[in-house]
Amino acid sequence: MSASSVVISCKNLWKIFGPNAAGVIDDAANGTATKQELLEQTGHVIAVKDVSFDVHESEIFVVMGLSGSGKSTLVRCINRLIEPTRGEIIIDGSDLARMDDDELRDLRRHKLSMVFQHFGLLPHRTVEDNVAFGLEVRGEHGRHKDEKVARALEQVGLKGWEKSRIYELSGGMQQRVGLARALAGGAKILLMDEPFSALDPLIRRQMQDEFVNLRSEVQQTVVFITHDLMEALRLGDRVAIMRDGQIVQIGTPHQIVADPADDYVSEFVRDVPRGQVIPVRSVAEWPKVRIRTDRSLEEVIAALKERESDFCFCVNEYGRFEGVLTLEQAESAVKGGAKEVREAVQTEFTSAHATTPLEQCLPLVADDDTPLAVVDDRNRLLGVATRSAIIEALHIEPAKNGGNGH
């Protein structure tokens, strides 16, 4: 996928719980004691140990780990609900640790939003008043506020429930209110702490699907915490696996499954039904030649020859996928008098939505060699997935101590 700017940058982050955290940190850094040993020796708990990672704009960055891995502490360091012991967190260019109270408040009001596992809603307020909370806090009132609230509620599918009380709603609906509250303010960065873990399994799956669709409208950057590997692989653009406060591996879902960094991760991914879980966008690449339909056919032929490719993918001005054009088709079209790409493009072409599991994509590429177009909800071209890439992702055996991607 295309490279984008780094929105959150975390460098050497530490969080130690205890009265003398700063004093213990050097021992912890230099020594080889485990978390348990250090707890017994010093009475301090190392929740986050020297964690570094970057989150890119518009990506869903999933942090996955078991209880006690430090993932919840980590996400709370990003908006300083928990004060880090040491390390840098840079959000949109500003260092979090250096911010004073006013700047921090500003950050929380405008740039960051959070969704919590147990919802965190105000029981004495109606649904719409809960959604309006963030807006109210930053001083917005009246019609503007009401419009934003209405729009957020519609986005999460709760139109009509504005005046209800929180206790009248089921768990799934309450979390939608939490989501609406986070979205209403238009924050560009969403922090989500196991948002679907408190819901029952059927609703959880539904919410995951809806969440992916929801995001297509406004491409927020999301830091998503979960203990469910399946959820991580389904939702994440990149996944970071945490254990005992440290990050063990960061990679795309495909990389995690195909190339586990150590035995711990291998153990985790052993039972993952890859075909059903890994979405096709995980193996998609940017097409070699991509051309807009309003270009001339001669340009296309020249480009294809130059890059030694037999075909190209065509999109319109908005990035919407239109079809495929082969070199032969282009040349014969020119002979027939056509000028622009759009006159020759083959619109009958298989494409798959980005979240389609690999298993379902196999039949689409079984017949020939042309790659599968991977598109989003609005049919914009995100990349292409070749048959070999799909097959490789499905069948490869996990290698020991393989590499990982940041």
Partner 1 sequence: MREKEIDEVSAGAPAEKRTLWRRLAGAQTAGGPSLVVKVGVLVVVLGIVLGALSVSYNMASDEVRQGPLFEFMEDWVVKWDVVKWINQQIDWLVVHGDAFFSGIRDGVLIGILNPLRTFLLWLPWWLVIIGTGVLAWRVVDRRIAIVVVLFLGLMGILGMHDLAMTTLAVVLTATLLCVALGIPIGIVAAKSNRFDSISRPILDGMQTMPSFVYLVPALMLFGLGMVPAVLATCIYAIPPMIRLTNLGIRQVDSQILEASRAFGTTTWQLLAKVQVPLAIPTILAGVNQTIMMALAMVVLASMIGAAGLGVEVLTGLGRINPGQAFVGGISIVFLAIILDRISQGFASRPGARPAA
- Interaction site with partner 1 (CB under 8 A): 17-19, 39, 42-45, 47, 67-68, 72-73, 79, 81, 104-110, 112-114, 116-124, 133-134, 136-138, 165-167, 178, 181, 185, 191, 194
- For 104, the 3-state DSSP assignment is helix
- The least CB distance from residue 120 to partner 1, in Å, is 3
Contacts of 246 (CB under 8 A, 6+ apart): 49, 50, 51, 70
Closer to partner 1 by CB, 200 or 392: give it: 200
Closer to partner 1 by CB, 51 or 291: give it: 51
- The least CB distance from residue 97 to partner 1, in Å, is 18
Closer to partner 1 by CB, 145 or 353: give it: 145
Closer to partner 1 by CB, 181 or 254: give it: 181
**How many CA atoms within 13 Å lie on the side-chain side of 190?**
29
Count of other CB atoms within 10 angstroms of residue 197:
15
Closer to partner 1 by CB, 167 or 318: give it: 167
Closer to partner 1 by CB, 104 or 394: give it: 104
Closer to partner 1 by CB, 79 or 293: give it: 79
Q: Give CA separation, 99 vs 88, 102, 276, 402, in Å.
A: 12, 8, 44, 39
Spatial CA neighbour of 89 closest among 103, 105, 71, 77: 77
Contacts of 209 (CB under 8 A, 6+ apart): 355
Closer to partner 1 by CB, 138 or 188: give it: 138
Closer to partner 1 by CB, 79 or 282: give it: 79
3-state helix, strand, coil in the chain (%, to 5): 40, 25, 35
- The least CB distance from residue 13 to partner 1, in Å, is 17
Structure tokens at 360: 């379902």
- The least CB distance from residue 136 to partner 1, in Å, is 7
- The least CB distance from residue 193 to partner 1, in Å, is 9
- The least CB distance from residue 22 to partner 1, in Å, is 13
- The least CB distance from residue 116 to partner 1, in Å, is 5
Whether residue 179 contacts residue 195, with contact meaning beta carbons closer than 8 Å, is answered with: yes
Spatial CA neighbour of 371 closest among 287, 299, 304: 287
CA quadruple 12, 17, 20, 24: dihedral sign: negative
- The least CB distance from residue 61 to partner 1, in Å, is 18
Whether residue 238 contacts residue 59, with contact meaning beta carbons closer than 8 Å, is answered with: yes
- Cα–Cα dist 43/34, whole Å: 13
Buried b (16+ CB within 10 A) or exposed e, 6-31: bbbbbeebbbbebeebeebbeebeee
Structure tokens at 22: 């700063």
Q: Give CA separation, 358 vs 93, 216, 285, 385, in Å.
A: 37, 21, 14, 10
- The least CB distance from residue 82 to partner 1, in Å, is 10
